[in-house]
Structure 1
Amino acid sequence: MNRLVPLAVVLGLTTASCSGGHGAGSFLPSGAPGAGSAAPASAGARTTRSTAVAAPPAGWATTATQAVSLKSATDLGALDATKPVTVRLGLQLHNVDQLKSAVQSRAVLSPGQIQSAYAPTASEVAQVTNYLQSQGLTSIAAEPNGLMVSATGSAAQIAKAFDTTLHAFTVNGVSAYANTAPAYVPTALNGIVVAVLGLNNVQAFATSPHRGGQAVNHASPADSAPAPQPESPCALSSVFIVGLPSPQPIPTPEAYTTGCPRNYTPSDYWRAYDVGSTSGAGRTPIAIMAEGNVSSSIADFRVNEQGDGLPEVPVVVKQVGVASPDTAGADEWTLDMTASTGMARRVSTIYLYATTSMTDSDIALMYNRWVTDDLAPIGNSSFGGCEAFPYLDGSMLVDDEIMLMGAAQGQTMFASTGDTGSFCSVGNPNGVPGGAPLVEYPAASPYVVAVGGTTLWSQYDGTYAGESAWNAGGGGLSQFEYSPFWQSGIQPVGTTATGQSFRGTPDIAMDGDLQTGMIVYIASAGGWTTIGGTSLSSPLAAGVWARMLQNHPGLGFAAPQLYHTFAMSNPGTKLLGPPPTINVGPFHDVVSGSNGAFAATPGYDYTTGLGSLDVAALNAVIGQ
């Protein structure tokens, strides 16, 4: 798979200690950067880790954007005063507690209802744009929902406008800039502007393909080879893969005699995850979050459609910001399109959102564009980075507001939890007191569906055998986000001294182990190859949800629906597998394996969440 690794942490992100105790009426914890009595409650970043926050200079108000310093980087001093810098200001939602309640109740609001009752007002947007104009900034543009306002100016103008300092750095030969002081706004904008994004251009996420070492020959279902026979059940070739040279079986314990791990094509997943008669008629569109030049991804996707015997789906590229020639994530976007539409069998349209870069600022703009366009009820983000960086630069707060707005109008973003187990990326200093392990963002957001990874075993005929937790699947407790209502009652641990619960990831899990990964055509890999990781798990889950919406229009945000269904289900009496797995209604409750700090257990856990999905069983009960 293509895992997006947080460069900031790899570089050695260091910051001041994170701050604040939860304030029920504030969009940030009491005393935290950006908190103010004039601000209504919000969905954004929160932490119970308490540290003193210095008072802002006279005439200024704090925002959620804190100072960032890069360890092991060379500080070149003040950034060239004439260098153009584009910032994006995040604005405050209104009546957020009401909006959260609507999502909790599984209601779906119209964009008009959300805009009139919860979005920043035209007057507030005007105050922000007027201030930016007064500072000599240009290219000022407000997003249709008023949640973001962009502007461009010289480094000197930007530093003055937000009373901050910008420095240039070189890190491993790469030029970058970042703010070395917090960002402030005039007191007149206190409670209106919550964060200033774009003060750093650190590529917070970077692609790192995880794929099989050798290409395989692939045939469509019409040309498929016979299913493997019991005497050799665990060859890596699956029922629709032929010509794999010298297959190397996964070592199989003596007890595992009823099924095996193997690689899968879309139609293999239909059988393993029990699609049954659940329609894949193609009435639901899906949005894929991407970056850079996506032309090769689309070309490879077309080959996958043909090879898998699937109908051709229209792809509409939605350029967000300035077009970029970057192709580092091309394999990722191919996988996302192939896995999501393959699991769904067909969707009406793929909206491929292509942003300029993998900076937090550009990602936030892309997310907001998906919400304001409101073209696709399903989105997929097969990337992420350690949650400390978006917390510190304020993008966590802005993204959470965006995702809450999308959830309220019935949109669901699926996000992969990462491929480094219970410890996000590397163990470099992360700015969190006590060196606590971090989970990945955006999966940590309460308003996305976080998808972890499993190792999927199937019977000789391709039907489901069992699953275990994939040992590299991301999962754990957020240090900055509290769990939403629908999750907090199911979590086994994670309650804080104040009675709140930290957000746990994942919510659900799907196949992610490279050893049981998906066969995908990647031209740069030499043809058909295997790809795994939670970058596979997330689009598989998105494809399942597409089938749900095709059969049950108007379900709305998936997370509360899934947790409600789990809570209403009784555990089965039959133990599936091996690997041992328990049916809990439409969920495969995974009870073996671990991701390091956490083990799979009956019920919700921090390796596979609620478990994986039986599609036909879910279709029979969802929304009840």
Structure 2
Amino acid sequence: MFLSLAVVGGLAASPAVASAQGRADIPQSHPAWANPQSKVADTAASSTMDFRVYLNLKDQGAAEAAAQSVSDPNSRGYRHYLSPDQVRDQFAATDQTVSAVKNWLSASGFSIGEVPSNRAYVEATGTADQVQRAFAVTLGKYQVKGQTLRAADKDLSVPAALASDVLGVVGVDQATNLFKPDHTDGADPSATKQSRVQGSPSTAPPSNGFRNSGPCSAYYGEKTDTTDPAYNGKQLPYAPCGYTPAQLRSAYGLDQVAQVGADGRGTTIAIVDAFASPTIYSDAAEYAKRNDPAHPLTKQQFKQHIFPPNQALEPPDQCDASGWYGEETLDVEAAHGLAPGADILYVGGQDCEDLSLDTALNYVVAGHKADIISNSYGDTGEDIPASEVKVFNQISMQAVLEGIGVYFSSGDNGDEVARLGTPSPDFSASAPWVTAVGGTSLAVGQDGKRMFETGWETGKSTLVNGAYAPAYPGAFNGGAGGGTSRLFGQPFYQKGIVPDALSTKNQTGGAKGRVVPDISAVADPNTGFLVGQTQTFPDGVYYDQYRIGGTSLASPVFAGVMAVADSLDHFHHGFINPVLYQLTSRTSAIHDVQHVDGAVQRVDFVNGVDASQGLKTSARVLDYPNLTIHTTKGYDDVTGLGSPNGVAFLLLV
């Protein structure tokens, strides 16, 4: 890791380092992957760039103390939330600071763009040549994780007179282009669905189609595969076809309080993703009509704020605009399904690079546009420039001050060892001021009740010529992210609850780190959620339905649970981590998710669409054991404290 800024409870603003000629470096403001060995080209001097200069708070320490006070049930300031105006007046950069930064940028030849209402940043546009001269760097193109991304060759610098005002500069590099949606259908990646149609984000067609083959079960255990060979000595149940909203509301006990009007009404859930599906409302409305007709998604309940698409992606559609459509669809349909009375605000970033996702998040927070924000994307691990980390931490802390709950999916690649070589949680879920939502495999019975729930880590064995390979427990095939952060120290709310055996992982000198996740909900695509989406099939573009999962499912599901808690308890819960750990961690309000031996049988189309190229049968092991993170009794680094346990949870949080 190139970044080590762990502190207890938050991330301190690093002081700028004095350099020559009246300038100061912004420490660790370029990513570690931007090194001479990975450079492939220079950046064209005439290319146009948008970037944002984020500004330090007036008093970082006071802001952190206030955030802890409003969220800590042991504090006298508990739930005494601030308005956006109060946050701005007490903590934001001054008008004089904003003017000084704008004047410097204008003098450097940049066009000045937005300054949001919370004065979080100054946006500017200019050429790469102007950026190089203004920040005293050379821009290049670097190969990283299969992409070619722009970055500076060294730390950015600013005039020494502005050093104490600048939190970070974001958009000069394309590090956030590595953020990906955390959803999966669990199918073979060679299926047709994975071959995305490329194009500019404003014209990208719906993603290529995907369907689930039968047989499958309407509920867990309805049908058993008696024709294929036994797996590990057992005939396996067929995977559920995809749980409906009613099944998940029942499994998590939400139907019990709906009778008294607690269905999310009075709460707005914001969904933040990149881009915007052109068919999102019609798809979500059709989905509710088919699968949950008593709870339609009305036009009054659904709003969008979509940032203009970036027409200068490098190369075109590098972020896979159509691929994000499925993420948005899952998030909206799951949130509405769990909390059908809540309002939904979709906020679509102009792309997945140049901090567009953080800009979208800041839009919600600066104007308190929602009470809950669900985010289902993240980086592979924590290899993120310090500027991005500090900026995100500042936005999420403002959300805490305002009483907004921010939820992030924990990731879909388990401990990340397979991709990184070392275990790591994913950023942004590892940040201290957000609630990281892990994933489970959920068995919902015929009566709609939870039969069992275990950690989501999948082992896959494919049936070939009458034998399963690899043998039990198969090969790792995706699972909930988790582990101990190298970026963030142990936050106050995890002290005394998270075992030292976990908090001291990845640490040195007796230090303790932030452990992910905090809470969990259904995520396993093999016990997943039914979604409906307009897709591009060989015979045309039209709406169809399929089963999906990932912690992208867990985050909006849990956001929906919290919206129902808001309407039942008649207040907005805001940042719930302190309550989760201090009040519910040792009570029946949390269902302690533990290891369960189990597996399901899946039959999939080879091409992901139809049987024309044949079928594939595979056994999917639940809670695959061969990772560095494990589902255990009590707090663990796959499911956190556990999952919400019906009415007891709704009342206690």
Name the TM tier (shorter chain): 0.7 to 0.9
Residue 271 (structure 2) aligned to one of 267, 288, 312:
288
The question of 1:406 aligning with 2:386 is answered: no
Q: Residue 383 of structure 2 aligns to a residue in which SS? A: helix
Partner of 1:27: 12
Once the two structures are superposed, residues 509-540 of structure 1 have per-residue CA deviations (whole angstroms, 9 ceiling, x without a partner) of: 11111110001112327622100111111110
- Hey, what does 1:389 align to over in structure 2? 383
Inter-partner Cα distance in structure 1 for 2:134 and 2:23 = 11
Shift of the 209–459 alpha-carbon distance from structure 1 to 2, 3 Å rule, reads closer
CA RMSD of aligned residues (A): 3.4
Which of residues 460, 464, 472 in structure 1 aligns to 2:446?
460
Task: Report Cα offsets for 1:314-354 as digits up to 9, x if no partner.
Answer: 32221235456832210110000011110112212x21111
Write out per-residue CA displacement over residues 429-469 of structure 1, whole angstroms, 9 at most, x where no aligned residue: xxxxxxx4221111111111111111112333121122111
Q: Please state how far the C-alpha of 1:25 moved relative to its aligned partner.
A: 11
> Which aligned pairs between 1:105-116 and structure 2 lie closer than 5 A?
105=69, 106=71, 107=79, 108-116=81-89
Match of residue 438 from structure 1: 424
Q: Note the C-alpha offset of 1:184.
A: 1.1
In the alignment, which residue of structure 2 is the partner of 1:533?
Answer: 550
Q: CA deviation at 1:198?
A: 0.8
Counterpart selection for 2:23 from 49, 57, 60 = 60
CA contact (8 A) 2:239 2:527 kept: no
Change (3 A) 1:192 1:281: closer
1:75 maps to amino acid: K
Query: Is the counterpart of residue 521 in structure 1 residue 532 in structure 2?
Result: yes
- Provide closer, same or farther for how the CA distance between residues 249 and 198 of structure 1 changes in structure 2, counting only shifts above 3 A: farther
Q: C-alpha deviations, 1:86-119, integer Å up to 9, x for none?
A: 1111111233333333332323222222111111
Runs of 4 or more, structure 1, over 6 Å off, are 23-26, 71-74, 170-174, 225-228, 245-257, 259-262
Residue matched to 1:506: 517
> Residue 265 of structure 1: which of 235, 244, 254 is its match?
244
**Aligned match of 1:585:** 589
Report what 1:51 is aligned to: none
**Structure-2 separation of matches of 1:140 and 1:502:** 38
After the TM superposition, which residues 199-238 of structure 1 pair with which residues of structure 2 at under 5 Å, given as runs? 199-201=172-174, 203-207=177-181, 210-211=184-185, 215=211, 233-235=221-223
The equivalent of 1:577 in structure 2 is none
Stretch moving more, 115-124 or 497-506: 497-506
Other-structure match for 1:373:
367
**Aligned residues of 1:417 and 1:440 also touching (Cα < 8 A):** yes
CA gap 1:437/1:497 in 2 versus in 1, 3 angstroms: closer
Indicate the residue corresponding to 2:280 in structure 1.
297
Find the counterpart in structure 2 of residue 484 from structure 1. 491
Equivalent in 558, 569, 583 of residue 565 of structure 1: 583
Count of residues in Structure 1 that have an aligned counterpart in Structure 2? 544
The answer to whether 1:330 aligns with 2:288 is no
- Residues in 1 aligned to 2:213 and 2:239: alpha-carbon distance in whole angstroms: 21
SS in 2 for 1:426: helix
Q: CA deviation at 1:185?
A: 1.3
Residue of structure 1 equivalent to 2:45: 81
Shift in alpha-carbon separation, 1:173–1:233, aligned structure 2, 3 A: closer
Q: Which moved more, 1:156-165 or 1:139-148?
A: 139-148
- Give the direction of change, closer, same or farther, for the CA distance of 1:422–1:72 in structure 2 (3 Å limit): farther
Please give the per-residue CA displacement for 1:348-406, whole angstroms capped at 9, x wherever unaligned.
Answer: 2x21111111125212211111111211111111111134332x252111001000001
For the residue of structure 1 that corresponds to 2:555, the secondary structure is helix
**SS of match in other structure, 1:327:** helix
What's the secondary structure of 1:510's corresponding residue? strand
Q: How far apart are 1:247 and its partner, in Å?
A: 11
Q: State the secondary structure of the residue aligned to 1:491.
A: coil
Per-residue deviation at 1:541? 0.5
- 2:51 touches 2:354 (CA, 8 Å); kept in 1? no
Instruction: Provide the secondary structure at the position in 1 that maps to 2:535.
Output: helix
Q: Is the 8 A contact 2:271 2:373 kept in 1?
A: yes
Whole-angstrom CA distance in 1 between matches of 2:32 and 2:147? 17
Q: 1:420 aligns with which of 413, 427, 445?
A: 413
Cα offset, 1:504, TM superposition: 0.8
The amino acid of 2:425's aligned partner reads: V
Q: Which moved more, 1:317-326 or 1:181-190?
A: 317-326
Further displaced range: 288-297 or 163-172: 163-172
- What is the TM-score of this pair, normalised by structure 2? 0.76
Whether the aligned pair in 2 keeps the contact of 1:386 and 1:424 (CA below 8 Å) is: no
Does residue 351 of structure 1 match 2:369? no
Normalised by the length of structure 1, the TM-score is 0.79
Pair 1:419–1:72, CA change in 2 (3 A) = farther
Q: Give the letter for the 1:410 counterpart.
A: G
Cα distance in 1 between the residues matched to 2:397 and 2:553 = 24
- Is the 1:68–1:179 Cα contact (8 Å) retained in structure 2? no
Letter in 2 for 1:357: D
Say which SS state the counterpart of residue 100 (structure 2) adopts. Answer: helix
Instruction: Give the direction of change, closer, same or farther, for the CA distance of 1:23–1:117 in structure 2 (3 Å limit).
Output: same
Q: Render the CA deviation track for 1:196-253: whole Å, top value 9, x for unaligned.
A: 11112352224586226673699xxxxxx9976xxx93439xxxxxxxx999999798
Indicate the residue corresponding to 2:614 in structure 1.
Answer: none
Query: 1:555 offset after TM fit, Å?
Result: 2.3
Distance 1:156 1:421, change over 3 A: same
The answer as to whether partners of 2:183 and 2:550 remain within 8 angstroms in 1 is no
SS in 2 for 1:353: strand
Shift in Å, 1:146: 1.1
Q: What per-residue deviation string (whole Å, max 9, x for no partner) do you get for residues 551-606 of structure 1?
A: 22132222222223224x44xxxxxxxxxxxxx33433435545711222222111
* SS of residue matched to 1:194: strand
Cα distance in 2 for residues equivalent to 1:590 and 1:398: 36
TM-superposed CA distance for 1:409, in Å, is 0.3
Stretches of structure 2 that go unaligned for 5 or more consecutive residues are 72-78, 188-209, 312-316, 458-478, 538-543, 597-622
Distance 2:491 2:388 in 1: 19
**SS, match of residue 558 in structure 2:** helix
Q: 1:373 to 1:21 in 2, by over 3 A?
A: closer
- Aligned equivalents of 1:449, 1:248: Cα separation in 2: 42
Change (3 A) 1:345 1:197: same
Match of 1:606 among 637, 641, 652: 637
Alpha-carbon distance change, 250 to 399 in structure 1, aligned in 2, over 3 angstroms: farther
Q: 1:103 aligns with which of 67, 91, 110?
A: 67
Percent pairwise identity: 26
Contiguous gaps of at least 5 residues in structure 1: 1-14, 29-33, 37-53, 219-224, 237-244, 429-435, 571-583
Residue 314 of structure 2 corresponds to which residue in structure 1?
Answer: none
Q: 1:25/1:211 Cα in 2 relative to 1: closer, same or farther (>3 Å)?
A: closer
Among 277, 280, 287, the alignment partner of 2:257 is 277
Classify the secondary structure of the residue corresponding to 1:604. coil
